[in-house]
Amino acid sequence: MKVAAIQMSSGADKALNLTEAEDLVARAVAEEAPDLVVLPETFTCMGGPAAHRRALAETFPDGEAYDRMQALARRHGVWLHAGSMAEAAGEKSYNTTVVFDREGNEAARYRKLHLFDVEVPGGIRYLESETIKGGREVVTYDCEGVRIGCAICYDLRFPELFRALRDGGAEVIVLPAAFTLQTGKDHWHVLLRARAIETQSWVVASAQWGAFDDGRRHTYGHSLVIDPWGTVVADAPDGTGYAVARIDPERVATVRRNLPVDRQRVL
């Protein structure tokens, strides 16, 4: 299975973001012919006032972003792990991944479990819970014989979720993200490699990169593909584009057989 982890620099203009996503997917398909394409977290909108982001939330499957991503998967004949989009939920919204198969059928839907409520260095406050509802379900799906687990951004800091995904049969874990520059430069590679090593799974992380909110906030980028031994096999440079790699499920089986930590668990 060949994967492409798309790296975007989304802003507050939803129409522009959707067009950029379509263009980057088309480019990846033309140049690399991947089987699975992954978009980053909140690719439809980054930044802007809370009321603006709330107004852009959609009901699924009725929304514009849902419809265009469904058509995009069908048009290119690829599996599309559509990052995350705002799914309307009353006064708030879910931060939701929707996965489409090659025919455009919805194959999975995952709502982000862990919400980013922190103050980061520099005094910037992020309070997702003011506008976002947390999900409740651990989600995996079958992608042509490969079991894939779902996570989003801040979920990365909670290894118990990744253990649950492995227990659910995941051989690949996909994590769309919009990691801040401040935390990304210190923690992004370390945490992603740790989750791959702990679960002995492939990890595919598609990231936002660059400035948004008129340059007041910055995301780290570095979309990655990591193998079950924790080796980074693809790392996107700064800018928009993608990281591409081939995922071999046999690599999972080999690592798990040679280092059988799952059978040796005590707790």
Angstrom distance (rounded) from CA 23 to CA 25:
6
Reply yes or no on whether the pLDDT at 70 is more than 90: yes
Which residue among 41, 58, 87, 128 is the active-site one? 41
Reply yes or no on whether the pLDDT at 217 is more than 90: no
143 as an active site residue: the answer is no
Angstrom distance (rounded) from CA 98 to CA 67:
11
- Reported as a single tens digit per residue, the pLDDT across 226-237 is 999 999 999 999
Task: Please report which confidence band the pLDDT of residue 214 belongs to, taking 50, 70 and 90 as the band edges.
Answer: confident
Which residue among 20, 45, 58, 112 is the active-site one? 112
Query: Of 70, 81, 72, 16, which is closest to residue 44 (Cα–Cα)?
Result: 16
41 as an active site residue: the answer is yes
Inter-CA distances, 249 with 64, 149, 218, 260, Å = 35, 14, 35, 16
Which residue among 45, 143, 150, 153 is the active-site one? 153
If one counts every other C-beta atom within 10 angstroms of the C-beta of residue 186, the result is 11
Task: Please report which confidence band the pLDDT of residue 120 belongs to, taking 50, 70 and 90 as the band edges.
Answer: low
- Reported as a single tens digit per residue, the pLDDT across 158-173 is 999 999 999 999 999 9
112 as an active site residue: the answer is yes
pLDDT at 23: 98
2-252 CATH: 3.60.110.10
